[in-house]
Chain A
Amino acid sequence: MLFRYGQLILLSLIFVSLIGCSRTPSDDPRLLMSLEQTPSAMGVQTIVLVINDGSTPLDNAKVQLEATMTHAGMPSQIVQMQALGAGKYQASIDFSMLGEWVLIVNVTEANGAVMQRTLPAFNIQ
């Protein structure tokens, strides 16, 4: 009987430790990112992203933008953003469905450093 309770406790501990774990890296706080305008309507829209490294605009980086919905089942769109200078990057995304969308930004800096940031979700209405 003691053995059975021991197994239960062990299983519970494993489960609780799983809840506490996270395999996903936290966002790099060094880079500051913001959208010039948050998209809100359906259809193809131009996204302009402003990236700053501290207070300095981040130029000469490769920026990849992934647009996906917050629910499962809709294929993502992944596009390479075009640099406009002064830390601004631009790309077009087709918001093909109403609902919550989220943008994931992958930045590869000139020195090879790679980082990812998930921007706050927004509604397409």
Chain B
Amino acid sequence: MQQIPAIDLLKLPGLRWLGRWRYARFALQLPLFALAMLMVWDGLTGAQLAPKNSATVIVWVHYRGFLMLALLVVGNLFCMACPFMLPRNLARRIIKPRFKWPTWLRNKWLAAGLLVLFFFAYERFDLWASPWWTAMLIVSYFAAALLIDSSFQGAPFCKYVCPLGQFNMLSSTLSPIEVAVRQPQRCQTCATKDCIVGRDDDQPGCELWLFQPKKVGNLDCTLCLDCIHACPHDNIGLLARVPGQELISLQPRSGIGKIEERSDFSLLMLVFTWGALLNAFGMISPVYSFYNWLTAQFAITSETFLLSVVFILALVIEPVVLLGGAAWLFRRISGHNERLIAIINRFMKGFLPIGIAMWTAHYAFHFIIGFWTILPVLRSLLAEAGINFSWMPVTGLSPLVPQAMIYPFQMGMILLGSVLSAVITWQTTTTITKQRQRWAWLPWALVIVAMAGSAMWLLSQPMDMRGILEG
């Protein structure tokens, strides 16, 4: 019999309403929706200097940092309170989607492509420096969620499209909580399966098609609470767990299958992990030296071309060489006879922790340094509304914690991520082969060392933020 976990967030005083009140998610979405509307309005009509506009400050400084910290300390809170789902949910009260999401799109290929596209657009259009583009990005999210989920049944936008959601769900593999069944034996006698099919009183079940008794971990879970509200036995909770435990599990996952056998998931994880290094590379001086070198070699100054070269190197050539090389050596050493791509698929999840660590180290830097930069923006917005907050400081704003603590924190994150990656790849090695396990694991360990070294080097470089002027 499975042991009942000790901590269930929904049983803690002050949080029980989340599980009991049907409109709990709606209540969480409303403030973020209002904030999103404020950012769209300010982004489109306000000062077009990024530090002076709430759209750019909140999205690129506060949201990203808070997102990563929330994912690691609690769970996928942003998806839980996702404002993009609010108009979509309201629209569904009027429009019942008629179509089924095409079978050929029921995978992560599109999401992986959109994640690459998002990273590319971020660099190409200098989103961090443009309130207008940031606002348009928010509007695009609202429009896409509304359009897709008004046309197709279920929640295809969250499951197959939303790059942000994929980012959050991959990161939430290291979260300390998950939506899970409280007492598995009770599900064995359940005949209605409301957690997946929903109830007649208009309470939907899981629209991402995760059947609770067979659900493993946080992948594809948006913490929407639908299954919790649908379960007539009050048998689903927000349970504490060991972060990263699901990356060791080899069980088939409800609504997903075995991620170790899915190349689309591998690509998504690759883009996420190597994208973390690439995104940080775009913010330091050597990238401009590299652009200059490329320009000298090819006599092409087009930023799109230069960026494409960097993206191909970082997201195609480097991972192919590292992962392909490690898989080839693994096969040679262990005598394992699967194809290289199948071996990479098995090991890919092992690299998630170092990717998550890099995103956290990077975003936490901006969050800590720039936390108080919201004050001048807030003061200015309040002044426009006729509220005088002139006591609010606009200059001399210190980081959230002493600056000397940031770099050690970043190094600690990378080391922690590396250790977790090493543990997971070791576990994968010992599961796949009984032959020369330590030697067979070594190539993967070397990839982790290379990635950790790259991450530490990137974080040790002075930041160099250019956008509008380029070069």
Partner of B372, one of A18, A69, A75, A100: A75
Q: Is B50 an interface residue (CB 8 A)?
A: yes
Smallest beta-carbon distance A6→chain B, Å: 13
Q: Is B373 an interface residue (CB 8 A)?
A: yes
Do residues B45 and A21 form an inter-chain contact, with CB atoms below 8 A? Answer: yes
Q: Which residues of B contact A111 (CB under 8 A)?
A: none
Contact (A24, B285) CB under 8 Å given A75-B396, A75-B397, A98-B464: no
Q: Which residues of A contact B469 (CB under 8 A)?
A: 100, 121-123
In chain A, residues 48-78, which have Cβ atoms closer than 8 Å to a Cβ of chain B? 66, 68-78
A contacts with B, residue count (CB < 8 A): 31
Do residues B468 and A100 form an inter-chain contact, with CB atoms below 8 A? Answer: yes
Q: Is B240 an interface residue (CB 8 A)?
A: no
Q: Is A83 an interface residue (CB 8 A)?
A: no
Smallest beta-carbon distance B444→chain A, Å: 35
Do residues B49 and A73 form an inter-chain contact, with CB atoms below 8 A? Answer: no
Q: Is A102 an interface residue (CB 8 A)?
A: yes
Do residues A72 and B51 form an inter-chain contact, with CB atoms below 8 A? Answer: yes
Q: Which residues of B contact A21 (CB under 8 A)?
A: 44-45
Smallest beta-carbon distance A97→chain B, Å: 6
Q: Which residues of A contact B41 (CB under 8 A)?
A: 18
Q: How far is the CA of A118 from the CA of B48 in the complex (A)?
A: 11
Q: How far is the CA of A23 from the CA of B234 in the complex (A)?
A: 51
Stretch of B55-63, B300-308, B419-427 with 4 or more beta carbons under 8 angstroms from chain A:
B55-63
| Chain A, residue nearest B94 (CB) | A4
Q: Which residues of B contact A78 (CB under 8 A)?
A: 394-395
Do residues B467 and A70 form an inter-chain contact, with CB atoms below 8 A? Answer: yes
Q: How far is the CA of A74 from the CA of B57 in the complex (A)?
A: 10
Q: Is B463 an interface residue (CB 8 A)?
A: yes
Partner of A23, one of B139, B384, B466: B384
Q: Which residues of B contact A118 (CB under 8 A)?
A: 49
Contact (A71, B397) CB under 8 Å given A22-B45, A23-B46, A102-B49: no
Q: Is A19 an interface residue (CB 8 A)?
A: yes
Q: Is B129 an interface residue (CB 8 A)?
A: yes
Q: How far is the CA of A18 from the CA of B56 in the complex (A)?
A: 17
Smallest beta-carbon distance B372→chain A, Å: 7
Partner of A18, one of B44, B395, B463: B44
Q: Is A15 an interface residue (CB 8 A)?
A: yes
In chain B, residues 455-471, which have Cβ atoms closer than 8 Å to a Cβ of chain A? 462-469
Q: Is B40 an interface residue (CB 8 A)?
A: yes
Q: How far is the CA of A122 from the CA of B94 in the complex (A)?
A: 52
Q: How far is the CA of A68 from the CA of B384 in the complex (A)?
A: 21
Contact (A70, B370) CB under 8 Å given A22-B45, A100-B469, A102-B49: no
Q: Which residues of B contact A99 (CB under 8 A)?
A: 463-466
Do residues A71 and B129 form an inter-chain contact, with CB atoms below 8 A? Answer: yes
Q: Which residues of A contact B311 (CB under 8 A)?
A: none
Do residues A97 and B395 form an inter-chain contact, with CB atoms below 8 A? Answer: no
Q: Which residues of A contact B73 (CB under 8 A)?
A: none
| Chain A, residue nearest B57 (CB) | A72
Q: Which residues of A contact B45 (CB under 8 A)?
A: 18, 21-23
Q: Which residues of B contact A122 (CB under 8 A)?
A: 469
Q: Is B366 an interface residue (CB 8 A)?
A: yes
Q: Is B47 an interface residue (CB 8 A)?
A: yes
| Chain B, residue nearest A122 (CB) | B469
Q: Which residues of A contact B463 (CB under 8 A)?
A: 97-99
Contact (A73, B466) CB under 8 Å given A22-B45, A68-B49, A78-B395: no
In chain A, residues 109-124, which have Cβ atoms closer than 8 Å to a Cβ of chain B? 118, 121-123
Do residues A69 and B139 form an inter-chain contact, with CB atoms below 8 A? Answer: no
Do residues A73 and B370 form an inter-chain contact, with CB atoms below 8 A? Answer: yes
Smallest beta-carbon distance B281→chain A, Å: 14
Encode A33-61 as 1/0 by CB contact (under 8 A) with B.
00000000000000000000000000000
Do residues A72 and B56 form an inter-chain contact, with CB atoms below 8 A? Answer: yes
Smallest beta-carbon distance B380→chain A, Å: 10
Q: Which residues of B contact A70 (CB under 8 A)?
A: 49-51, 129, 465, 467-468
**CB pairs A–B below 8 angstroms (22 shown):** A4-B94, A19-B44, A21-B45, A23-B45, A23-B46, A69-B465, A70-B50, A70-B129, A72-B53, A72-B56, A73-B373, A74-B373, A75-B373, A77-B395, A97-B463, A98-B462, A100-B469, A121-B468, A121-B469, A122-B469, A123-B469, A125-B464
Top 4 closest A-B pairs, CB basis? Answer: A73-B370, A99-B465, A98-B464, A75-B397
- B-side residues, CB < 8 A to A, are 40-41, 44-53, 56-57, 60-61, 94, 128-129, 139, 285, 366, 369-370, 372-373, 376, 384, 394-398, 462-469
- A-side residues, CB < 8 A to B, are 4, 15, 18-19, 21-24, 66, 68-78, 97-100, 102, 104, 118, 121-123, 125
Known: A19-B44, A75-B372, A98-B463. 8 other contacts (CB 8 A): A71-B128, A71-B465, A97-B463, A98-B465, A99-B463, A99-B466, A100-B129, A104-B49
